[in-house]
Amino acid sequence: MRIIAGEFRGRALAAVGKGDAGAHLRPTTDRVRESLFNVLVGGSYGDPITNARVLDLFAGTGALGLEALSRGAQHVTFVDDGRKAQDLLRQNIELCRASTSTKIFRSDVKRLGANKGEPYNLIFLDPPYGKGLGEQALALAFKHGWVADDALIVWEESAEIEVPEQLELFDKRKYGDTRISILGVI
């Protein structure tokens, strides 16, 4: 696993390895990440990455957020409560020398409390597949002020998602077993 483009281009990230079987880490592959960022940058979304405040929910290794940071995002907050994920996030932030523009928030996304800072305008959502956790996480993110009025949300799942009422589906792509939905706030 590596950073595809930008300031950290080519930088290898910490390997997941066998890790903690209970962690259920499933990093977004380099190929899917590259395709996703090509869609974001080349799509009709303007420039959703440069100077973005990024929220990486169910962050895992942090590859999505770090890719955005490498491509010009201003700040990334990673949210994950897994011990293995926390360790990998710290390692990957250190590998990218990105500690000044990142924050790790150790929390169960299902218990996401109030946002104490500015809302986020680019949100990555990569929950464990097929458990309905994406819907729960987004509902809490909206309720507690994490989502900016102009936010773009990138949701990775294994099946079609139910688009929440406050969002509009802009695009969806399928890469093998992975489905990416790009949504915007209405």
- Per-domain boundaries in the chain: 29-185
Helix (H) or strand (E) holding 172: strand 167-175
Which residue stretches of 144-176 are H helix?
none
> What are the respective helix, strand and coil percentages of the chain, to the nearest 5?
30, 25, 45
pLDDT range class, residue 153, cuts 50, 70, 90: very high
pLDDT range class, residue 17, cuts 50, 70, 90: low
Give the burial string for 104-115 (b: 16+ CB within 10 Å, else e): bbeeebeebeeb
Count the alpha carbons within 13 Å of 33 in the hemisphere toward its beta carbon: 23
DSSP 81-142: --HHHHHHHHHHHHHTT-GGGEEEE---GGG-----S--EEEEEE-PPTTSSHHHHHHHHHH
pLDDT digits (tens, 9 = 90+) for 94-122: 999 999 999 999 999 888 999 999 999 99
- pTM of full prediction above 0.85: yes
pLDDT range class, residue 46, cuts 50, 70, 90: confident
Output the six-digit token pair for 17: 């390895």
Task: For the chain, give the percent of residues with pLDDT over 90.
Answer: 79
Q: For residue 15, is pLDDT > 90?
A: no
Residue 16: the pLDDT is 81
Q: For residue 76, is pLDDT > 90?
A: yes
Q: For residue 134, is pLDDT > 90?
A: yes
Average pLDDT over residues 57-66: 96
Which of 126, 96, 93 is closest to 109 using CA atoms? Answer: 126
Average pLDDT, the chain: 92
Residue 18: the pLDDT is 54
Say how far apart CA 179 and CA 16 lie, in whole Å. Answer: 22
pLDDT range class, residue 24, cuts 50, 70, 90: low
Which CATH number does 29-185 carry?
3.40.50.150
- C-beta neighbour count of 62 within 10 angstroms: 28
The amino acid sitting at 34 is: E
Q: For residue 19, is pLDDT > 70?
A: no
Task: For the chain, give the percent of residues with pLDDT over 70.
Answer: 96
Q: For residue 3, is pLDDT > 70?
A: yes
